[in-house]
């Protein structure tokens, strides 16, 4: 593949999407796995599978899947979270692989923002993996502010990802996002530039 793929991954509320946006801002193409997942969730085939697995309570009045109701269920039960991921994986994987194939050679580099990157086992190989991190208490505070949930719910969401932690040890570089936005921007840009410069050699 002649277009470098930079993956940004890490736990919930660790600043992953912020860092991915900074890294993509110098001619990169940003692929957001969460946004792709949301689109997949609205396809009829996937909605039917979600409905069978989780029941009609997860369907909103508009007929779409309520991410809030679905989140309440899966973040409280690791098995149900696994069931949802198993439904979504093949569709998200295929969509991301199609997107990557379509843009290879057309952009300077690709940035894939994907919390579950290592679970997908994509057909393409990443060139560089950035892992974002922040202390759990900071991430819980961020979730409370960002999603309007209480601390107990935020803790559940953090805990639900515990089985994924070993994957995030596989990164090429770790960025601690507990700093000012100015500092974070400088760190992420340096990481990106160092990689792109070394990749150009």
The SS3 call for residue 83 is helix
- pLDDT tens for 174-189 read 999 999 999 999 999 9
- Residue owning tokens 């890294």: 23
User: What whole-number distance in Å separates Cα of residue 23 and Cα of residue 149?
Assistant: 29
For helices 67-74 and 78-103, give the axis angle rounded to 10 degrees: 130
Architecture of domain 5-200: 3-Layer(aba) Sandwich (3.40)
> Is the per-residue pLDDT at 1 higher than 60?
no
- pLDDT mean over 108-121: 92
Element containing residue 6 per DSSP (H, E): strand 5-9
Global pTM? Answer: 0.91
Confidence of residue 2 (pLDDT cuts 50, 70, 90): confident
Domain range summary for the chain, segments of one domain joined by +: 5-200
Confidence of residue 4 (pLDDT cuts 50, 70, 90): very high
Which of 80-94, 120-134, 141-155, 179-193 has the highest mean predicted lDDT (pLDDT)? Answer: 179-193
> Is the per-residue pLDDT at 90 higher than 90?
yes
């Amino acid at each position: 593949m002649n277009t470098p793929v930079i993956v940004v991954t890490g736990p919930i509320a660790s600043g992953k999407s912020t860092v991915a946006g900074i890294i993509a801002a110098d001619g990169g193409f940003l692929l957001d796995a969460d946004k792709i997942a949301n689109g997949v969730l609205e396809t009829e085939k996937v909605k039917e599978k979600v409905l069978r697995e989780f029941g009609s309570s997860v369907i909103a009045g508009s007929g779409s899947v309520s991410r809030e109701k679905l989140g309440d269920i899966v973040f409280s039960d690791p098995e149900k979270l696994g069931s949802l991921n198993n439904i979504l994986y093949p569709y998200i994987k295929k969509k991301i692989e199609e997107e990557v194939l379509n843009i290879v050679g057309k952009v300077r580099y690709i940035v894939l923002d994907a919390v579950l990157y290592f679970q997908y086992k994509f057909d393409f190989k990443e060139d560089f993996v950035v892992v974002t991190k922040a202390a759990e208490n900071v991430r819980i505070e961020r979730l409370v502010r960002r999603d309007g949930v209480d601390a107990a719910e935020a803790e559940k969401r953090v805990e639900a990802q515990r089985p994924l932690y070993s994957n995030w040890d596989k990164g090429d570089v770790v960025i601690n996002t507990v700093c000012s936005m100015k500092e974070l921007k400088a760190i992420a840009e340096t990481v990106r530039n160092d990689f792109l410069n070394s990749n150009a050699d």
